């Protein structure tokens, strides 16, 4: 079973920030938080990951709470092409690594 909990869906207006929450209250100390998204019928796309500190890349920002029990993915300026299912996953790395996908959150960006 997935170790994360996400809302089923959310929407936001094009050009606005999209804040996608994720709860992972049972995360272990050496598990990373990964975010992927999947646009219909395509393979999942890696977005960002982090362990403890907040992270930012060209696609998004990841904010992890100090107790690491929850995180938020931020798409700073959502576009219509960001409409997708977003998966929050906690995972070990190395020999124990595997991605356990939950149902994800469907983000709909409206014009």
Residue closer to other proteins, measured from CB, 36 or 64? 36
Q: Of the listed pieces 16-24, 33-41, 62-70, 76-84, which binds other proteins according to CB under 8 A?
A: 33-41
Residue 52, CB-side half-sphere exposure with 13 Å CA sphere: 5
**Residue 43 interacts with other proteins (CB under 8 A)?**
yes
Q: How far is the CB of 93 from other proteins (least distance, A)?
A: 5
Collapsing DSSP states into helix, strand and coil, what is residue 41?
A: coil
Based on the shown chain and the rule CB under 8 A, indicate whether residue 78 belongs to the binding site for other proteins. Answer: no
Sort 22 into a burial class: Cβ within 10 Å, 0-12 / 13-18 / 19+: buried
Phi-psi region of 79 (alpha: psi -120 to 50; beta: other; left: phi over 0): beta
**Is residue 94 at the binding interface for other proteins, with CB under 8 A as the rule?**
yes
Q: Does 96 bind other proteins (CB under 8 A)?
A: yes
Q: Check residue 9 for interaction with other proteins (CB under 8 A).
A: no
* Lookup result for tokens 């998966």: 87
* 39 scored as a contact of other proteins (CB under 8 A): no
């Amino acid at each position: 079973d997935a170790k994360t909990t996400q809302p089923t869906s959310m929407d936001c207006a094009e050009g606005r920030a999209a804040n996608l929450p994720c709860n992972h209250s049972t995360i272990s100390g050496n598990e990373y938080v990964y975010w992927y998204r999947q646009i219909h019928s395509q393979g999942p796309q890696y977005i960002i990951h982090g362990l403890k500190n907040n992270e930012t890349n060209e696609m998004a920002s990841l904010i992890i709470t100090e107790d690491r029990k929850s995180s938020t993915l931020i798409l700073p300026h959502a576009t219509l092409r960001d409409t997708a299912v977003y998966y929050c996953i906690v995972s070990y790395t190395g020999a124990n690594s595997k991605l356990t996908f939950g149902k994800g959150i469907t983000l709909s960006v409206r014009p």
